[in-house]
Amino acid sequence: MKYISEITDELRVRVLECLYEDELFNVFLIHFIESQIEDIGELYITESYDSINSILHMKFDGNSYFTSFYYRNEEGLNEIIKQLKKLNYSRILLSGKMKDVSKVLDCVGKNKVSAPDIYYKFDINKHKNLTLQQVCNFRIATDSKEDLNIISKFMIGFFEPTTQQETADLINTKKLLEDLKVGIYFIEYNEQVVGMARISGKTKKYVDITTVYIDPQNRGKGFSKSLMEHMVQIIISENKIPVMQASSLNIIARKTYESLGFVKEDDYLFEFIS
């Protein structure tokens, strides 16, 4: 695969044209390419007869090399697999449709160990059924020291880093400021922040919600549902459709999301391959 050190306007158009073939499942990567973020991570492509066959993207997110990919044919998939073997980074977290990630895992000699996630898309017809809880306050997080401390605490709680270095990378101020630009939202009760949710990407049609986290001492009180209702409202107001992923094992969360109007689109997998 060819490493892209600088994306020209012409190449950006071609890459996006390829990714938009499956917009629903390429929200994160499309967002990075469209927003022209200075540090987009590592981008690799393969081309055949002036047509892009495959795309591989890797970006260190403080916890892992978050890796997403897209291919048009089996030749493109094989190129992606060869590139991953060649790089051989530690903590590569591969994300994608379960059937695609499983193909990669088979070729790199690793068994699937994680339970799949459910990739959800919000049913717009259910929007009228949302009932916002007025007892809670909902606001966008800022770059104030207080908010950054809260975000750091919740990020640690969500990702559960196991070393000091992983913790430091996860709550790196530069990284958190990048996340804030995309969107981090708080839910408050009795003037205390009890939870947050992040936006990981936006495309023409979709907005991806991630890192939905409620402080442990405030769980079981309906805050997760209220937070998600507000997230959906904000996204719908932008004339876009919310999407998200939830662990198939997290039955409580799945029931909450499905009661709001999220519908399963496919099995999805986040799997470390190294």
Structural fold of domain 121-266: Aminopeptidase (3.40.630)
**2-117 sits in which CATH class?**
alpha beta
Predicted TM-score (pTM) above 0.95: no
pLDDT for residue 41 is more than 90: no
Quote the CA–CA distance of 99 and 105 in Å, as a whole number.
10
Q: How far is CA 171 from the centre of its chain?
A: 17
pLDDT digits (tens, 9 = 90+) for 151-173: 999 999 998 888 898 899 889 99
CB atoms within 10 A of CB 274: 16
DSSP-based three-state secondary structure for 164? helix
Span 172-183, average pLDDT = 91
- Whether 2-117 shares its CATH topology with 121-266 is answered yes
The domain segmentation of the chain, as residue ranges, is: 2-117, 121-266
Going by pLDDT thresholds of 50, 70 and 90, the confidence category of residue 55 is very high
% of residues, the chain, pLDDT over 70: 97
Quote the CA–CA distance of 190 and 217 in Å, as a whole number.
14
